[in-house]
Amino acid sequence: MSTHAEEDGLHLIKQETSNSEERRFRALIEHSSDVIMLNNAKGIVTYVSSSITSNLGYMPAEFIGQVFLDFVHPDDVPILQDIAHELQWNGDKSLSTEYRLRRKDGAWRWFEGTGTNLLHDPDVNAFVGNFRAITVRKAAEERLHLLNAVSILLVSSLDHEITLQQIAQLLVPAQADYCRIALVDDHQQVKEITVNHVDPEKNALVQALYEQYKDRSSSTHGLQKLLTTGQPELISIVSQDVLETTRDNPTLFALVGTLSLRSYMGVPLIARGKTIGAMTFSSIQPHRHYTNDDLLFAQEVARRIALALDNVHLYKEAQNAIRLRDEFIATASHELRTPITSLKMYTQVLQKRFARQGDESMNRSLMKMDAQIGKLTLLIEDLLDVSKLELGKVAFRQEAFNLNEVIAEIVEHVQSISTRHTIHIEGKSTLPLWGDKERIGQVLTNLLINAIKYSPHADTVLVHIVQEQAMVIVKVQDFGIGIAKEHQQQIFERFYRVNDPEEKTYPGLGIGLHIAYEIIMRHGGTMYVESEKGKGSSFCFTLPYTSDKTEIA
């Protein structure tokens, strides 16, 4: 049994405990960096912790009694309304989301907040909310998002002027209230690419400002300085001192005032060590002052732009060089054809004359000369073909032909000029093909000459003809040096040759396979190689059968 005195003592201890507990909780709430608040059923703030001041700039008394949603960014109100609705119907549940709140100075800041419905608890009878600033994370997310968007724009077109204008539109107003991008052309002239003010009516003012700045050799800030120094520039707060530097030019001074610049940063566009342009970011908002993080972001944007511009430049240069090369090849091979034709004619005339005179030795020399002229003619024809194929100027004859006959004829011809190798034909096509038999013969000649050329230690070359339902496959197989995997796709490209230091060098231009490939493609077929280094290669091409399936006699 406890006495009265003991009961009184216990009561006192309990009261003291609850008082100290309350003090502890109060201290916890008041010193938390999170903002803690209570809202009544109508959404009016009935309590807010003192950290509201460091987060939003209001004193608690200014916030209490206000409708909480009035501080929320209009775009984020619907989501908070949905959450309040959900909480009302779902008891003790807590729900979180991200939203923007207006600071006392008018700027919007991102917060992450959680709400719990404790209206049904008679001791609390309120919505309990807490929110914490996530400005830094949000800004980083936004920059990442913008960088991705910039990269996508940069690869979307080769017209860099349009791309840069789109990038400026992306950056305003997210990162700047006005933004300018200028490039230096090949004659070192500064070319304005885009000027973008958040209020388009002010574009002219910004333009006028830059005009005034343009010829100022004394410019301590701005584009000219970026272009000459190649160094980024950050003026976090545009102070009166900075403005004073323009006072010597009243027009400029007035323009700077009208545009009410608050913060500025500029970055050069540098490609391979050369400053090829610059971009500037300007803020007119009282609460947006650029920081080092912003400058790093601007530099990354500039780096990506410069890289993309440089790639476009290199691409155009390469295209131009290719065009000049093709023009040269076309002209040179055309010009070479006439003298070679006369040379061949005179050689034959001389051959006949010496044959009549019975001069065997002279005749043999002239035959060798004729064979060399033949090789030269083939080379020139190949060069001409390459340029003509590239320009789509090769006309193909359209006629039905017998593939077996073409193969037999070409094999006989190549066999006649090869002493070491024997060429065997296996299989045949029972159906005619449609197309240009001279050109198909040219493909086969090329493959057979390669098979012999690249198998100097073998003595056999096989030509397989495999008939399938809708097409025929012709396979030229050799047992020579083979081709390593990494070259197998590229050997059909123009001028591609395998350069293997372990192999001896074979003469050639690297165009025969390209011509063959193009001819087969234009006949609706395909061409590929199966090969293993050191074991030999099989060059295959397919040709489709026409609908007319008349059997070949």
What the block records as the tokens of 161 is 């002027």
Q: Using the rule CB under 6 A, is 131 a contact of ligand ADP?
A: no
Stretch touching ligand ADP by CB under 6 A, among 29-37, 204-212, 420-428, 478-486: 478-486
Report CA dihedral (67, 71, 72, 77) to the nearest 10 degrees. Answer: 30
Closest CB to ligand ADP among residues 261, 481: 481
**C-alpha torsion sign, points 311, 317, 323, 326:** negative
Q: Using the rule CB under 6 A, is 481 a contact of ligand ADP?
A: yes
Site residues for ligand ADP, 173-202, by CB under 6 A, read none
Of the CA atoms within 13 Å of residue 461, those in its CB half-sphere come to 29
Q: Helices in 358-436 by DSSP H: which ranges?
A: 360-390, 403-416
Find the binder of ligand ADP among 461, 511, 520, 543 (CB under 6 A): 511
Find the binder of ligand ADP among 491, 519, 527, 540 (CB under 6 A): 491
Secondary-structure breakdown of the chain: helix, strand, coil percentages, each rounded to the nearest 5: 50, 20, 30
Q: How far apart are CA 358 and CA 508, in angstroms?
A: 37
Q: Using the rule CB under 6 A, is 537 a contact of ligand ADP?
A: yes
Stretch touching ligand ADP by CB under 6 A, among 23-31, 255-263, 413-421, 496-504: 496-504
Stretch touching ligand ADP by CB under 6 A, among 122-130, 240-248, 303-311, 494-502: 494-502
- Write down the least CB distance from residue 544 to ligand ADP, Å: 24
Beta bridge partners of 179: 196, 281
Closest CB to ligand ADP among residues 348, 489: 489
Find the binder of ligand ADP among 259, 513, 520, 540 (CB under 6 A): 513
Q: Which residue is nearest to ligand ADP (CB)?
A: 508
Q: How far apart are CA 84 and CA 90, in angstroms?
A: 10
Q: Using the rule CB under 6 A, is 308 a contact of ligand ADP?
A: no
What is the residue type of 386?
V
Q: Using the rule CB under 6 A, is 383 a contact of ligand ADP?
A: no
Closest CB to ligand ADP among residues 116, 333: 333
Q: How far apart are CA 154 and CA 158, in angstroms?
A: 8
On whether the CB atoms of residues 465 and 472 are closer than 8 A, the answer is yes
Burial 28-43 (b: 16+ CB within 10 A, else e): ebeeeebbbbbbeeee
Query: Residue 272 CB: number of other CB atoms within 10 A?
Result: 10
Q: Using the rule CB under 6 A, is 478 a contact of ligand ADP?
A: yes
Q: Using the rule CB under 6 A, is 385 a contact of ligand ADP?
A: no
Closest CB to ligand ADP among residues 232, 508: 508
Closest CB to ligand ADP among residues 129, 480: 480
Q: How far apart are CA 328 and CA 322, in angstroms?
A: 10
Stretch touching ligand ADP by CB under 6 A, among 248-256, 305-313, 507-515, 541-549: 507-515
Q: Using the rule CB under 6 A, is 87 a contact of ligand ADP?
A: no
Number of residues interacting with ligand ADP: please give it, by CB under 6 A. Answer: 19
Q: Using the rule CB under 6 A, is 210 a contact of ligand ADP?
A: no
Would you give the end-to-end CA distance of the chain in angstroms? 127
- Write down the least CB distance from residue 443 to ligand ADP, Å: 11
Q: Using the rule CB under 6 A, is 380 a contact of ligand ADP?
A: no
Q: Which of 494, 485, 546, 535 is nearest to 518 (CA)?
A: 494
- Write down the least CB distance from residue 468 to ligand ADP, Å: 23
Q: Using the rule CB under 6 A, is 243 a contact of ligand ADP?
A: no
Q: Using the rule CB under 6 A, is 458 a contact of ligand ADP?
A: no
Which residues does 108 contact at the CB level (< 8 Å), separation at least 6?
Answer: 73, 100, 101, 102
Q: Using the rule CB under 6 A, is 510 a contact of ligand ADP?
A: yes
Q: Using the rule CB under 6 A, is 386 a contact of ligand ADP?
A: no
Q: Which of 38, 289, 45, 27 is nearest to 175 (CA)?
A: 289
Q: Which of 262, 339, 302 is nearest to 180 (CA)?
A: 302
Site residues for ligand ADP, 414-453, by CB under 6 A, read 450-451
The residue ranges that bind ligand ADP (CB under 6 A) are: 450-451, 454, 478, 480-481, 483, 491, 496-498, 508-514, 537
